[in-house]
Amino acid sequence: MANTTNSMVLYHGSMLTHAHKCCLLRPARLLPRFHSSSATLAVKSRASHGSLAKWGHKWKRQFVRTCSTSDFVIANDEKYGNKQVVSLSPRLYDYVLKNVREPEILRQLREETASMRGSQMQVAPDQAQLLAILVQILGAERCIEVGVYTGYSSLAIALVLPESGCLVACERDAKSLEVAKKYYHLAGVSHKVDVKFGLAADTLQSLILDGEAGSYDFAFIDADKRMTQKYFELLLQLVRVGGLIVIDNVLWHGKVADPLVNDPKTISIRDFNQQLVEDKRVNISMVPIGDGMTICRKR
Ligand SMILES: C[S@@+](CC[C@H](N)C(=O)[O-])C[C@H]1O[C@@H](n2cnc3c(N)ncnc32)[C@H](O)[C@@H]1O
């Protein structure tokens, strides 16, 4: 929520979504949803330039100033120096996906999962690749995942662990775990994965009681969103100083930045993000990949 009140969003050009077009047609009704006291929303489009003129000179000046083939966002606060940040259009995201090196076994798992209930829950290939490279950069040997589903992210991690490495994989759904286990076997990494069937918080508590605090290098949280803070606190005990905890869905489909959305999951994620900014126990980086991931390094 930190930048909500100071940000201006500019949507550019040829790839306006339906929602943006609605804004163009009905600005008076829709703009307040995006506005806060000091924020301005401007929608830019070569095609719609004329229809926007009535919105005033401010966005028009910005339209003239910039020209790009992609959507992008500019912070309104001048102290950010009009920094342009690319916004993913479907075409640009396709391009990102084409530039991912996805192991064949992960592709097979993704495609098998695609027809299953909840398939949208698995992390995207670019996210899995980020997890894998973090594990590699860290030289991680001992990892924990909270929320396995059919195993896409856990397999991506297990594949890059050394032979002596171990991933504790926490999941409460037996059916999806069967798929995960099948792919650990097919990928030849079963010996690296310690599947813990049950409630993740119980599993993490047990690991702490078993004296494993401070012995893990890397953890990934991707389970029930209202429990994220709880998992984070437990994992902060289990991860060593210098180790990483990565949290998925921190942008929650954009709802965290919309003050009109206040359902329990959104509030929970929003509160978690806010607390993390203040949390001196970790270094943090919120990365707008997938549905948003925050990387925390234990200090
Ligand atoms: C978003 S999915 C995980 C996706 C997975 N990381 C992937 O990339 O394929 C969340 C999973 O967390 C599991 N889950 C939810 N609450 C849980 C809990 N309390 N304990 C263990 N697993 C839980 C769900 O069953 C679901 O499979």
Give yes or no for residue 212 having a pLDDT over 80.
yes
d(CA 282, CA 6): 25
* Better-scored residue on pLDDT, 211 or 25: 211
Q: Where are the alpha helices (DSSP H) in 188-293?
A: 200-209, 228-238, 264-278
pLDDT at 73 over 60: yes
| Distance of alpha carbon 125 from alpha carbon 96, whole angstroms | 10
Confidence of residue 46 (pLDDT cuts 50, 70, 90): very low
- Residue closest by Cα to atom 7 of ligand 1: 122
> How large a percentage of the chain has pLDDT more than 70?
77
Pocket, ligand 1, Cβ cutoff 6 A: 121-123, 147-150, 152-153, 170-173, 176, 199-200, 222-224
Q: Among 4-8, 41-45, 150-154, 181-185, which is the least confidently predicted range?
A: 41-45
Give the model's confidence band at 72: pLDDT under 50 very low, under 70 low, under 90 confident, else very high. confident
Q: Which atom of ligand 1 is nearest to the CA of 170?
A: 21
Query: Could you count the other beta carbons within 10 Å of the beta carbon of residue 87?
Result: 16
Single out the residue of 161, 229, 239 nearest to residue 193, CA to CA: 161
Which of 43-47, 71-75, 81-85, 211-215 is least confident?
A: 43-47
Question: Ligand 1 centre from 223 Cα, in Å?
Answer: 4
Q: Which protein residue has the closest C-alpha to ligand 1 atom 8?
A: 122
User: In testing the pocket of ligand 1, which one of 222, 235, 246, 269 has its CB within 8 Å of the most ligand atoms?
Assistant: 222
Ordered structural domains, the chain, with CATH: 4-94 (no CATH), 101-298 (3.40.50.150)
pLDDT band at 68 (very low <50, low <70, confident <90, very high): low
pTM above 0.90, yes or no: no
As a dihedral over the C-alpha atoms of residue 142, residue 147, residue 149, residue 154, rounded to 10 degrees, the angle is: -20
Whole-number average pLDDT of the chain: 83
Ligand 1 centroid to Cα of residue 75, in Å, is 34
Task: Compute the distance from residue 145 Cα to the ligand 1 centre, in Å.
Answer: 9
Pairing of strands 7-11, 41-43: parallel
Q: How far is the CA of 109 from the centre of ligand 1 (A)?
A: 16
- The yes-or-no verdict on residue 89 having pLDDT over 70 is yes
Mean pLDDT of 89-100: 96
- Report how far ligand 1's centroid is from the alpha carbon of 190 (Å): 19
